[in-house]
């Protein structure tokens, strides 16, 4: 475990990735047309370089990149600095990182990208054009896996293929749907984040993105879908899958009691599949079911471990 820094601190790094120097605008000051790409990280050095390279190669150059790091000790911050990203250190979970990134952003638009994702060529240019021409406040970016190299990656690839065969209005439902927007108008995103209770912000890791979308959807129903936009670098090993999902499970303890997102969490902890599945997609359904069953078992183990840990800490010493 490696944790550094305070709650939020800005670390100056070399300028690049198509942005102007930080001094050109104050933190949080909006610039029309600018896209702020925010990437939460925690020991993500293995995948971050490819992610940042995909941003740098975009034809759309009005871009700033904020890497919001949760105390990495594997060289993640050095990778970010090498690509000229601004590094923001945040102590907390994924939700805290996403909120900090949006608050630091200066763009008219904010893209919630993950460190294991790769932008398709032209994705930002198409996203801005679609948002402006269609009047959308948020966009789902169609996601597929990079070519799988092992059994586990094949399961993830099959699951993503299944989900994205059924991109329709039902898929956009914030409770029962199967996809989540990543590209937002910044003003809407900040308003949605302000509605999230302060007490949940630091602890929530799993379902962070779904919570943000739920609050954003309460403000606007102008959601579009951008095809062929994102590729996933899927987990390279079973060990990586277990570590990540055990952490997700532990974080679910923060959402155990009464909270505004109980219904959302119950639904998201079930099997998230499209409605009206076609028989021809049965092989994908089987692979998806195997993957989701494994992930949810690991997350449940993490939740039980965290609840036992908290109960032990609350027990009075004799």
* Per-residue model confidence (pLDDT) at position 129: 96
Domain contains 284 = no
Domain contains 170 = yes
Tens digits of residue pLDDT in 116-168: 999 999 999 999 999 999 999 999 999 999 999 999 999 999 999 999 888 88
Domain contains 230 = yes
Q: Is the pLDDT of residue 27 over 90?
A: no
- 90 phi and psi angles, rounded to 5 deg: -130, 135
Q: Is the pLDDT of residue 1 over 90?
A: no
Q: How many domains are there within the chain?
A: 1
pLDDT confidence tier of residue 314, bands split at 50, 70 and 90: confident
Q: Is the pLDDT of residue 42 over 50?
A: yes
Domain contains 1 = no
| Mean pLDDT of the residues in the chain | 88
Domain contains 88 = yes
Tens digits of residue pLDDT in 267-297: 887 766 677 788 999 999 999 999 999 999 9
Tens digits of residue pLDDT in 234-244: 999 999 999 99
* Per-residue model confidence (pLDDT) at position 197: 93
Domain contains 243 = no
pTM (predicted TM-score): 0.87
Alpha carbon distance 207, 247 (integer Å): 12
* Per-residue model confidence (pLDDT) at position 17: 47
Domain contains 134 = yes
Looking up residue 203, the CATH number of its domain turns out to be 3.90.550.10
Q: Is the pLDDT of residue 9 over 70?
A: no
The range of the structural domain enclosing residue 34 comes to 8-149+165-234
* Mean pLDDT value across residues 199-227: 94
CA dist 82 to 40, 45, 98, 246, Å? 17, 12, 22, 31
Domain contains 66 = yes
Q: Is the pLDDT of residue 170 over 70?
A: yes
């Amino acid at each position: 475990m490696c944790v550094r820094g305070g709650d939020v601190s800005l670390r100056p790094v070399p300028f690049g990735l198509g942005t102007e120097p930080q001094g050109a605008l104050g933190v949080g000051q909006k610039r029309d047309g600018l896209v702020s790409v925010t990437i939460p990280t925690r020991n993500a050095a293995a995948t971050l370089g490819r992610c940042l390279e995909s941003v740098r190669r975009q034809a759309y150059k009005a871009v700033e990149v904020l890497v919001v790091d949760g105390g990495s000790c594997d060289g993640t911050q050095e990778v970010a600095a090498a690509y000229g990203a601004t590094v923001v250190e945040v102590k907390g979970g994924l939700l805290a990182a996403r909120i900090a990134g949006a608050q630091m952003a200066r763009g008219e638009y904010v893209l919630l990208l993950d460190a294991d994702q790769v932008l398709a060529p032209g994705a930002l240019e198409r996203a801005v054009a679609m948002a402006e021409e269609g009047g959308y406040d948020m966009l789902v970016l169609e996601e597929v896996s990079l070519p799988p190299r092992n059994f586990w990656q094949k399961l993830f690839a099959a699951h993503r293929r299944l989900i994205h065969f059924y991109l329709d209005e039902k898929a956009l439902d914030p409770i029962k749907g199967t996809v989540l927007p990543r590209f937002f108008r910044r003003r809407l995103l900040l308003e949605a984040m302000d509605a999230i209770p302060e007490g949940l912000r630091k602890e929530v890791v799993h379902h962070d993105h779904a919570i943000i979308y739920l609050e954003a959807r309460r403000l606007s129903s102008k959601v579009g879908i951008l095809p062929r936009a994102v590729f996933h670098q899927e987990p390279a090993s079973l060990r990586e899958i277990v570590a990540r999902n055990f952490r997700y499970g532990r974080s679910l303890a923060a959402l155990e009691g009464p909270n505004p997102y109980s219904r959302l969490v119950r639904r998201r902890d079930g099997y998230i599949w499209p409605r009206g599945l076609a028989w021809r997609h049965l092989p994908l359904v089987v692979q998806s079911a195997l993957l989701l069953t494994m992930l949810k078992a690991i997350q449940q183990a993490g939740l039980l471990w965290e609840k036992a840990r908290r109960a032990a800490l609350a027990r009075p010493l004799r």
